[in-house]
Structure 1
Amino acid sequence: MRMRPLVPAALVLALAGCISVGPDYQAPEPAPVALPSADAAAFSGTVPVAAWWRQFDDPVLDALMDRAMLANLDVRVAVARVDAARAVFSEQRLDLAPHVPAVAAASRSNAPVFPGQPRVIQEQVSFGFDARWEIDLFGRIRRSIEAADADLGAERAGLEDVRVSIAAEVAGNYFALRGLQRRIEVAEDTLDTLRDTQRLTEVRAEYGAESEQAVQSSLARLREIEASVPALQSQAAVARNRLAVLLGQAPGSLDDLLAPRPLAPFVRPLPIGDTRDLLRQRPDVRAAERRLAAATARVGVATADLFPRVSLTGFLGFLSGSAGDLFESDSETWSIEPSVSWAAFDLGSVRARLRATEADADAALARYEQAVLVALEDTEDALQAQARRQEQLESVVGQAEAARRAAEVAELLYREGAADFLVLLDAQRQQLAAADALARVESDVNVGAVEVYRALGGIGREPAFP
């Protein structure tokens, strides 16, 4: 087959790819961030590993995190969104090249050529390749590819953001659960002590050494602590169920794994790396920047609609009036049809769409700037809160130790008859309050560390997730 008639098309092809109309995107350059709360007492500039939760040295937490990253349903949704965006990007790139589907057709008719004429049987069979190609003279397709690429980047950042959030939520709920379990232990230990005190008070009352008022006050205190335990157990059940759902499992399925175990607060300086690079670390900020890039590229797509579109269509194959002669040399055929389309009198609609895309780009810029401000706010709040929790922990540890000693002395003096019952009751109340506060603050310190890492966007450099 001779292809000489296709040669003039080379003149048109030479024009392809010369212009990309619309704005060229310039990514905002995030300024270094100085966070005043990142003091050396509570934080260190050491960069933690990407799997930051491993520095808590808790194998149960490590196992929960590994399972969550594989089975969490929000992560699976985000992975699917990345796959979908990748497929759209691949499809957009293919639009730069001709689309050449294979086509085959056959028809047979029995009808007169003209009314009143004898009927004639007609047959036509074809097979070949039907090419279609839009020559991207003004960059409409290239801008579409830019937008799809930016959308893919946004979904990738969104996936990372989901993983960071899920990791923080798993760790936060885990540490909250451990804190509740410790508070339940404190309450149950206090109940044992109060029951001993109740028996002692009743014995002393039998011998006239104590009043009925002391007996009833002791009993009231005992019942008060008993009533507080179910509420703590209910909160612990909620935390266990939440962890199960985060791992993509039914509530109650993790009860064996989450049996009570000691919780050590993270009391050494928290490694947070260089916070000046915060805006590059936050995946939500990166996602907002990529969406801004996509919106800017779509302004170029809309701008290109103001200009003509040049397309080529053609056919190369065989056409015959009989299926038996389809692949004979006389049946070889080709055709080429250049075409130009332009909005012309519909340019008002095109300009309206262009204004809409420009407005979308303005909104995307505002969302990016908002993401930056929220990132700064989140991080400053998390650092401030964690520094204060560390200070609070030091005070509460001393308070709990002093309250424990005071309760021991008061019980000894009461048994010897050298102290009033109200002194013992007050000392035991202070001991429970201090021990409960210590359990809460220890849990809060670990939860606060999790919130710092969430605010910093998961700051490790090596891959953190399966």
Structure 2
Amino acid sequence: MTMMNSMIGRGFALTVLAVSLTACQSMKPAVPAAEPNIPAEYMALAQDGSQSIASQGYREYFADERLEQVIALALENNRDLRTAALNIEKTQYQYQITRNNQLPTVGASGSVTRQETATAPDPYTTYSAGLGVTAYELDFWGRVASLKDAALESYFATQTARDATQVALVGQVAQAWAAISFAEQNLKLAEQTLKAQQESYNLNKRRFDVGLDSEIPLRQSQISVETARGDVAGYKTEVAQQKNALNLLVGQTVPDGLLPDKAVVHITDNQVLSAGLPSELLVNRPDIKSAEYQLRAAGANIGAAKARLFPTISLTGSAGYASTDLSDLFKSGSFVWSVGPSIDLPIFDYGTRRANIKISEVDQKIALSDYESTVQTAFREVNDVLATRANIEDRIAAQRRLVEATNKTYQLSQARYRAGLDNYLTVLDAQRTAYSAEQGLLALRQANINSQIELYKTLGGGLTETSTQASTQVDAPNADATQTTVN
């Protein structure tokens, strides 16, 4: 019995030693240096050292409380954001599985065997019961650890991908909310134009009835009336479609009390829209973080592939009781145990393992290229918005002066037509020019509002309600794979 206990002790010590050596080697390569070739500063804006507007929560950046409530509804009900949260939960469980592979699996077993041998011609029955460790891999080369690291980096990438979805959603909701206001302004302009055209038609009809003009001015004014009536119907459709688009983003019907009830003049109270330093963009943009985690996961997969070139050593063991008599199964002297390693030594596999390494290395190069492309795209988006904002005020001022000039021309042409100095074609041309100028001014004002929203989004703003709220932390998943909250 003493000898048996000694053997058990040595076996246990061997197992502990093997486990302690697990993952002592790692073949995961260093993360390659990225070369996105980005500019040292933004092209269209002089750096003033101010903090990026992305540091503000959406309740601080946006000026209208109704818009803030609509954004809050979208964060609760948007289906794309909900799917992104569920993907986090999925990768959380996947990470738990890969991490559990580093630990031995213990299971209970029991059996009843009826057999007959040459030394024992009479059939007899053997009963056994015990606990066993099944094929536990001793991770000397870090293969299992690398797979765990890859799963962890994938989890981080999924979590930051969810943040990127939120940033995009906040910007899309704000733009859709403002679009309703501008669609209604265009509808109002079209209705005013229809009213003016109807008055002109009535005037031309009276002049035609008394014989002052031919039928041509009457039909020309009728064409203008029907064109304006078509514009009114079109903008009514656009208002409804913009509301439908907002409802889809929010994930439910937005109450009428939260929709804009007047023209949106400004979307934010910020007087200066600072982009901050270019280096801040790498920290604030969650899509860049997600690409970086994917790059790290690709490196971990290389380590796992390289480890497959070396022997795979697994450990199996069991301890329990065995007896030919069921009543003696748990009595003294029926205790049995076994422990032993197994080895899988690659000798000739037609280059499969080395091909897998090459595939993993190519995947890493692809991930590196994707990361660099993501960084370049982020800078391009910011520079595009800044380029728009650099000249938008001058364009609006010029368009406003154009509106004033075309309206004055329209008034003069009407007066000259009534006085019989010009034909009605001049009035029609002036009216169309004035109407087009008014539409252009509304389009530029909407572009100005959208550029303010787009700058906030492209800089990575929208992850928090306020700047005092803790930013989204990327933490390792809980050991118990606690369920991610999904609104």
TM-score, with structure 2 as normaliser: 0.82
State which of 50, 53, 63 in structure 2 corresponds to 1:47: 53
2:29 pairs with one of 23, 33, 40 = 23
Structure 1 390/463 Cα, relative in aligned 2: closer, same or farther at 3 Å?
A: farther
SS at match of 1:346: coil
SS, match of residue 320 in structure 2: strand
Letter in 2 for 1:282: R
Task: State the SS of the aligned residue for 2:53.
Answer: coil
Q: Distance in 1 between matches of 2:22 and 2:59?
A: 53
For 1:345, what is the secondary structure of its paired residue? coil
Coordinate RMSD, CA, aligned: 3.4
What's the offset of the Cα at 1:454? 3.0
Q: Which runs of 5+ in 1 are unaligned?
A: none
Q: In 1, distance between residues paired with 2:46 and 2:394? A: 13
User: C-alpha separation between the residues in 2 aligned to 1:364 and 1:339?
Assistant: 36
Partner of 2:438: 435
Distance change >3 Å, CA 8–CA 276, structure 1 → 2:
closer
Q: Does 1:263 align with 2:264?
A: yes
Map 1:24-423 onto structure 2 (within 5 A): 24-25=30-31, 28=34, 33-39=40-46, 47-52=53-58, 55-101=61-107, 103-109=108-114, 112-114=116-118, 117-118=121-122, 120-130=123-133, 132-249=135-252, 253-254=253-254, 256=256, 258=259, 261-266=262-267, 268-346=271-349, 348-408=351-411, 421-422=424-425
SS of the residue corresponding to residue 90 of structure 1 reads helix
What one-letter code is carried by the residue in structure 2 that aligns with 1:67? L
Distance 1:32 1:327, change over 3 A: farther
Conserved? CA contact 2:54–2:456, under 8 Å: no
CA displacement, residues 279-317 of structure 1 (integer Å, 9 cap, x when unaligned) = 332222221111111111111111111112232221133
Aligned residue for 2:315, secondary structure, equals strand
1:375-420 deviations in Å (ceiling 9; x for gaps): 2222222221233333322222233344445545655676677876
410-419 vs 450-459, greater mean Cα deviation: 410-419
CA distance in 1, matches of 2:320, 2:430: 99
Check the 8 A contact 2:34/2:368 in 1, yes or no.
no
Deviations 1:348-382 (A, max 9, x none): 32112111111111221122222222222222222
Secondary structure class of the residue paired with 1:333? strand
Task: Give unpaired runs (5+ residues) of structure 2.
Answer: 473-486
Q: How many percent of aligned residue pairs carry the same amino acid?
A: 26
> Whole-Å Cα distance in 2 between the matches of residues 270 and 83 of structure 1?
36
Provide closer, same or farther for how the CA distance between residues 376 and 144 of structure 1 changes in structure 2, counting only shifts above 3 A.
same
Amino acid in the other structure paired with 2:97: E
2:162 and 2:250 map into 1 onto residues whose CA distance is 16
Identify which range, 146-155 or 332-341, moves more after superposition. Answer: 332-341
State the SS of the aligned residue for 1:166.
helix
Matched to 1:273, the amino acid is G
SS in 2 for 1:344: coil
- The question of whether the paired residues in 2 share the 8 Å contact of 1:184 and 1:232 is answered with yes
CA distance in 1 between partners of 2:189 and 2:26 (Å) = 70
The change in CA–CA distance for 1:385 and 1:112 in structure 2 (over 3 A counts) is same
* Displacement after TM superposition at 1:10 (Å): 4.8
What letter matches 1:133 in structure 2?
A: Y
Q: 1:463 to 1:9 in 2, by over 3 A?
A: closer
Number of residue pairs matched by the alignment: 459
**TM-score, length basis structure 1:** 0.86
Higher mean alpha-carbon deviation, 78-87 vs 131-140, is at 131-140
Return the offset for 1:52.
3.6
Spell out, residue by residue over 1:139-177, the C-alpha distance to the aligned partner (whole angstroms, 9 max, x if none).
112222221121112111211111222222222233233
CA drift at 1:450: 2.5
Residue 211 of structure 1 deviates from its aligned partner by 4.7
SS of 2:87's equivalent in the other structure is helix
Q: Which SS does the other structure have where 2:105 is aligned?
A: coil
